[in-house]
A and B are shown apart, each in its own frame.
Chain A
Amino acid sequence: MSKMTLTTEGDRHILVTRRFAASPEAVYRAHTDPALIQKWLLGPDGWTMPSCEIDPRPGGSFRYEWANDKGAGFHLTGEFEALEPFSRIVHVERMFLPDRTPDNHVETRFEPDGSGTLMTMRMTLPDEATRKAMLSTGMEHGMEASYARLETMI
């Protein structure tokens, strides 16, 4: 039994929904308070988030850093485009693996649902034109070295 749904819309969108037994205010705070984010935004088991910096204002930026017990790590940076307490967050983010991946645009909505909250997250993945533009801006040089590092990491 899973409370979460994950569906794709075309080639570029991923839609995630999840219900929580807490108010939209609490769920929203858990998405914007660094001490709370560090407790749950960890992905697969075995990873921790040693560093979480976040400036939850429109135009503010954030940086999350993950590490595992084997000494591997990566980070993510992003900027907030819109923050509407306690109903909506729009942000853009990209990972550094350690190379910068193209930007992902994410809109997260929190709606009252009975005594809880329905969260809807819509991710917009980069299109091919974006990927090509990134690859033609001279990133390639740095990429080769960092892919070599990634190979030793995984």
Chain B
Amino acid sequence: MPHASPARLDAAFLALADPTRRAILTRLTHGEATVMELAEPFAMSQPAVSRHLKVLEGAGLITRRAEGTRRHCRLSKAGVESIDQWLGLLRRALEANYDRLDEVLAGMDKPEDPK
């Protein structure tokens, strides 16, 4: 079993399901950035970006620190590989789906109405 708790995986999965948040993480792979710098390419207000950052922080993918009046964001250790991690979570969700589908198909193959 993975060491991460299911709740944590759900949080990361939902956090990364949003393309804007994946784009923010991609930006942070180039290095630390302030909320203002992150908001700029998205034509979003700083409060709106802050909401995204809160979700990412809550999922453990970024860390934030204050320096004077500025807040700096950086990828956390868990967030460094987070795009791959998102793909990993997607892979796990799909694998779980298709394993269940195998069982559904096995049930369907049984002739329910023999002719």
Partner-B contacts on A (CB < 8 A) = 2-4, 6, 8, 14, 16, 18, 20-22, 26-27, 29-30, 36, 39-46, 68, 72, 74, 95, 97, 99, 101-102, 125-126, 128, 131-132, 135-136, 140, 143-144, 147-148, 150-151, 153-154
Contact = CB atoms under 8 A, between A and B. Distances in A.
Interface string B40-75: 011111011001101100110000000000000000
Contacts of B113: none
A99 B92 CA distance: 24
A21 B43 contact: no
B103 to A, nearest CB: 8
* B interface majority secondary structure: helix
Given A40-B97, A43-B97, A128-B41, 6 more contacts: A22-B109, A36-B108, A42-B97, A44-B6, A44-B13, A154-B10
Given A30-B101, A154-B14, A45 B96 contact: yes
B97 A144 contact: no
B55 A150 contact: yes
Interface in B82-115: 87, 89-98, 100-106, 108-109
Contacts of A27: 101, 105
Contacts of B17: 95, 97, 101
Contacts of A45: 6, 96
B91 A4 contact: yes
A46 B108 CA distance: 24
Given A21-B102, A39-B100, A125-B19, A135 B51 contact: no
18 contacts: A6-B87, A6-B91, A16-B94, A20-B98, A29-B108, A36-B104, A39-B104, A40-B98, A44-B10, A44-B89, A68-B10, A97-B14, A97-B17, A132-B43, A144-B48, A147-B51, A147-B52, A147-B54
Contact of A30 (B15, B54, B96, B105): B105
Q: Can you list the 7 inter-chain pairs with the closest CB atoms, starting with the nearest?
A: A147-B51, A22-B105, A40-B100, A154-B11, A43-B93, A40-B101, A6-B91
A36 B108 CA distance: 9
A70 B59 CA distance: 17
A44 B11 contact: no
Nearest to A68: B10
A140 B48 contact: yes
B9 to A, nearest CB: 6
